[in-house]
Amino acid sequence: MNPTIGWIRDLVASWGVPTALVPLVPFLLLLIVLYAVIGLAAYGARRRWPRADKTIAFWLFISPWLIGFAIFTVGPMISSIFVSLTSWDLITPPRFVGFANYTEAFQDPRVGQALKVTLLYGVISVPLQTALAFVVALLLNAELPGMRFFRTIWYLPSLVSGVAQMVLFLWVFNPRYGLANDVLAKIGIEGPGWFNDSAWALPTVILMSLWTVGGAMVIYLAGLKDVPANLYEAAAIDGAGTLRMFWHVTMPQMSPIILFNALTGIIGSLQIFTQGFIANGGPKDSLLFFVYYLYDNAFKNFRMGYASALAWILFVVILALTTVTLRGSAFAVYYETELGTKRRKK
């Protein structure tokens, strides 16, 4: 334990603070110090710039999030850079090894398998989810009786947690008594092994991912409601049919939202974990997703340095794919701003 924190805990314990609350005291003291610094800075800024009240109030109100972000996100990220350069088993002190963890990662065949499985999942599942959510949103955008009920039904599965989803689909796709094979048997088709078959495990997870397109569907639906009706009226006057209005009015107006859902889908697909964890990597590492392999090294093999190196490799992969997607979207996404028009002309 850090000597300073130990001294603070001993001091607080001597004040008669209950033992269960003692670990919280250093954190509370840190918050008090941070808010004291922020308060003094705000007081000094207000004396120097009397008209900056709104700016000061803005920074004060967002300071809890900024402090939490700095302590619980930026801090661990920075420390993980150092940890990735060490060999650390959480018990003995970290031992500096330089870039040995990264060298080992590039030579580890299971890292290649994890990248292959994760990228394959993302390449197939993201377009399918994006297209299905968009089609469902188009259908549910119609002003017909009962649409609110169907919108709710489509959205509800996205509220189910990943573990509950996986447990449910382990039963649905059970090769012996699962619902899927039971339905296939009634029409004369012998069902596959699903999660128990290395050839079918990943397609099963991809199929399972389509169950939760309700979240993206709601975003698409909101975008469709925001498309100006006068654009459709102008297109109809010019003689455009349904397909031409869809292609020349709906698609350009919805392109930023499609890009948003595609980006969040790419980032989410590369961080998939629960399915691989519940399936224990699947038969023959068919569900060895990258984050699951990272977790396996960190909390089963207690190789925190190697796991941190894997985390930064994944970060670089996600950053590269996100950058390529954003760059490639410049000529396909329509923005109703001067900046967007300039980008399209270039």
pLDDT digits (tens, 9 = 90+) for 102-155: 999 999 999 999 999 999 999 999 999 999 999 999 999 988 888 889 999 999
Closest CA to 198 of 283, 298, 268: 283
pTM of the predicted protein model? 0.82
pLDDT over 80 at 44, yes or no: no
State yes or no: pLDDT of 26 exceeds 70. Answer: no
Nearest to 311 by CA among 331, 291, 338: 291
Q: What single DSSP character describes residue 156?
A: G
pLDDT at 228 over 80: yes
What whole-number percentage of the chain has pLDDT above 90? 58
96 strand-pairing partners: 86
Q: Is the dihedral of CA 28, 33, 37, 39 positive or negative?
A: positive
Flag whether pLDDT at 341 surpasses 60: no
Q: Which long-range contacts (CB under 8 A, 24 or more apart) does 282-285 make?
A: 282/195, 282/198, 282/201, 282/202, 283/196, 283/197, 283/198, 283/201, 284/198, 285/110, 285/113, 285/114, 285/117
Query: Two tokens at 236?
Result: 């109809």
Paired strand residues for 86: 96
The alpha carbon torsion through 220, 330, 124, 118 (nearest 10 deg) reads -110
First-to-last CA distance in the chain?
A: 57
Q: Is the pLDDT of residue 23 over 70?
A: no
pLDDT classification of 286: cutoffs 50, 70, 90: very high
- Residue 162 has a pLDDT of 82
**The dihedral formed by the CA atoms of 12, 14, 19 and 22, expressed in degrees to the nearest 10:** 10
Q: Which residues of 24-39 are buried (b: 16+ CB within 10 A; e: fewer)?
A: ebbeeeeeeebeeebe
Radius of gyration from C-alpha coordinates of the chain:
26
Question: Rounded mean pLDDT of the chain?
Answer: 87
64-98 residue pLDDT tens: 788 788 888 888 898 899 999 999 998 888 899 99
Q: Partners of 95 in the beta sheet?
A: 87
